[in-house]
Structure 1
């Protein structure tokens, strides 16, 4: 076994265990505790985004991060019609504070806020079961992709932007999400159609991962930050969840949610 391939496995596992414990507790408790956890994550992701795009804006990064976190916490308590403009406010505020990467900041921050809002709404409206389903699809996609990519290798998905991503790992993520779907289809009323939805969620999480990789490549950084040993920053860890949550927000308007029960 080549040790170089697995040098980052130990810190990744330790950090992953810590994140799973904290995340599982927040998801289990739900309500205000879950809202607070998501709001902190949203704020830190925006902080990382600003630091990547405009390294000279440390003060602005802190201000925008606190604004985003506060907006996330407040918006979920408001009717949807009033939450929407509030969710876009940090993007508009940031445009006036960024010397570089303003458009990228505005778009990605809007996506972060909408995804955070979607996760809170999913937990509040549909309960623990469907929150666990979404988390498992994203986590299994990541784990299956990690191990298949290193054990099987093969052609790269998009080497210019994400040189470690392989087609074998990508497809393994789809297979893993299908297995998760079959487990939940048998224990809910979702039916076999959940397999298709889960594969699409897996794809959306992979797109979120690649989108964040593109920003890092453009900014010339390896990780969004060093907050999480073995994983980089929160954007590095939750980019897949960002894409998946956004997909659920959009897909829920087309097919209804939970899948197959409407």
Structure 2
């Protein structure tokens, strides 16, 4: 579904991604792990069109998107949940969710999706009229994921969804990621909790200093001594 080949991305004169290549099969969960500053978020931002690569190619569902603007990439069915949630902090929970469906005009289906997501994230049903900026970190993460799902994506880019959350909320987020994937949505996951991320991954990549250093199944990397020493403690 997604193919990235020989991607080079710069911040001014600093090369952040150095020839990164990876692929994500349809309905898979692919995990990307690495240290802070390794290039994980840069890769997701390049895929979703927030950053423009200097060279290399990105194909989604067979179409080249490396030169497309972010709003057109979103229309192809690719949704990005960025690090830090990036909610519309002054809007309510319900307004944030409806912003996720701003391109859609199928009102009945929008309401059906909203109800389905309230079932997936029950706490949001109690918070629909609450200003999003006043929510807890875990609740904000629920809103960010639900907002992305309101666009009916084919693929979800998740950037550090468990960051700053309590252990109980981390478990909920990972259970929800598995459920979302079970509904047929492909997932590319960047995650600091390498152990949990690798446990649910179909395949996985390790990125170091802007380059892919290891790749394999989630299980194989979970038991790789180099990964265990560097990322699993």
Give the alignment's TM-score, normalised by structure 2. 0.31
Point out the structure with the larger strand share.
2
Structure with bigger RCO (C-alpha 8 Å, 6+ apart): 2
Quick check: which has more Rg, 1 or 2?
A: 1
